[in-house]
């Protein structure tokens, strides 16, 4: 028996239209292509076959007595006396430095290092050659010259803050040969019946530590 018109209409409504099948197939294919694109990629790298060495420099400063240096005491000073000491500063051989300074510390804080007028003063002189440390000292060597780096500086100011001796460069591997002349300035005091005046410059003692400092050379940008 053939289906009634009503049944044929119901079956037709239940079946998806051919156009709908085609649209779904295209959409599925598009999702498959897109999904594959997310995970697929081309990559490339390049690296040096031989490792590149990179090193950092070392900033180093050492001090040594030159004959009569800081290892020898300065004793029994009278006003107007000058005592000379010699030290050599050696710069490490890897990095240039700059701004060489001098500071002093006094463990006792006596008037010798607290009074800018009556206390100790120091003059620092550099020799481009070598100091002969006898007598007043002589700068020797072919073409050797002297340069005064500090003139009669009160030790009180060096206790307060470092003083710059060489503002410019100190070359790696070089030696700075220094003469330090320590002077007690001329001044008058009267001792009466064996009694010292108030706040005397006499009979004092200081424990001095001399410290030389520096900073690294100016940083650079190079292509070599």
d(CA 80, CA 11): 130
Distances 13 to 1, 4, 22, 170 between C-alpha atoms, Å: 21, 15, 18, 99
Helices (H), 67-147: 111-114
- Domain for residue 86, yes or no? yes
Q: Is the confidence at residue 142, as pLDDT, over 60?
A: yes
Residue 166 has phi, psi (to 5 degrees) of -130, 115
**Band (158; pLDDT cuts 50, 70, 90):** very high
Q: Is the confidence at residue 2, as pLDDT, over 90?
A: no
- For range 43-51, the mean pLDDT: 96
Q: Is the confidence at residue 37, as pLDDT, over 90?
A: no
- Domain for residue 8, yes or no? no
- Domain for residue 118, yes or no? yes
**0.85 cut: is pTM over it?**
no
**Band (135; pLDDT cuts 50, 70, 90):** confident
Mean pLDDT of the chain: 89
d(CA 182, CA 121): 6
- Domain for residue 14, yes or no? no
pLDDT in tens, 107-133: 999 999 999 999 999 999 999 999 999
Q: What percent of the chain has pLDDT over 90?
A: 79
d(CA 62, CA 27): 81
Residue range of the domain that includes 173: 82-187+206-216
For residue 125, list its beta bridge partners: 148, 179
- Domain for residue 11, yes or no? no
**Band (55; pLDDT cuts 50, 70, 90):** very high
d(CA 49, CA 51): 7
Cβ–Cβ contacts within 10 Å for residue 111, how many? Answer: 17
End-to-end CA distance of the chain: 100
- For range 173-185, the mean pLDDT: 98
Distances 209 to 20, 53, 103, 112 between C-alpha atoms, Å: 98, 41, 8, 13
Helices (H), 86-161: 111-114, 155-160
Question: Tell me, what's the pLDDT at 14?
Answer: 54
In the 8-state DSSP scheme, what is residue 52? Answer: P
Q: Is the confidence at residue 30, as pLDDT, over 70?
A: no
Quote the number of domains for the chain. Answer: 1
- Domain for residue 165, yes or no? yes
Question: Tell me, what's the pLDDT at 34?
Answer: 54
- Domain for residue 99, yes or no? yes
- Domain for residue 34, yes or no? no
- For range 20-45, the mean pLDDT: 63
- For range 141-168, the mean pLDDT: 98
SS3 153: strand
Q: Give the E-state strand segments of the chain in sequence order.
A: 61-65, 82-91, 97-106, 121-127, 130-132, 138-140, 146-154, 163-170, 175-183, 208-216
């Amino acid at each position: 028996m053939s289906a009634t018109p009503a049944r044929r209409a119901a079956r037709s409504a239940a079946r998806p239209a051919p156009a709908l099948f085609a649209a779904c197939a295209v959409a599925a294919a598009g999702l498959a292509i897109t999904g594959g694109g997310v995970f697929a990629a081309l990559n490339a790298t390049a690296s040096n076959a031989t490792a590149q060495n990179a090193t950092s420099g070392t900033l180093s400063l050492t001090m040594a007595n030159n004959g009569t240096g800081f290892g020898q005491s300065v004793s029994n000073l009278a006003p107007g006396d000058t005592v000379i000491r010699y030290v050599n500063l050696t710069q490490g051989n890897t990095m240039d430095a700059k701004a060489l300074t001098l500071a002093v510390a006094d463990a006792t804080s006596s008037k010798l290092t607290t009074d800018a007028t009556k206390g100790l003063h120091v003059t620092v002189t550099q020799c481009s050659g070598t100091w002969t440390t006898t007598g007043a000292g002589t700068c020797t060597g072919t073409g050797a010259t002297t340069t005064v780096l500090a003139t009669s500086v009160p030790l009180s100011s060096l206790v307060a803050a470092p003083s710059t001796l060489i503002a410019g460069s100190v070359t790696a591997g070089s030696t700075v040969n220094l003469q330090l002349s320590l002077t007690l300035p001329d001044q008058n005091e009267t001792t009466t019946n064996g009694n010292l005046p108030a706040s005397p410059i006499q009979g004092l003692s200081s424990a001095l530590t001399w410290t030389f400092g520096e900073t690294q050379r100016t940083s650079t940008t190079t292509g070599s």
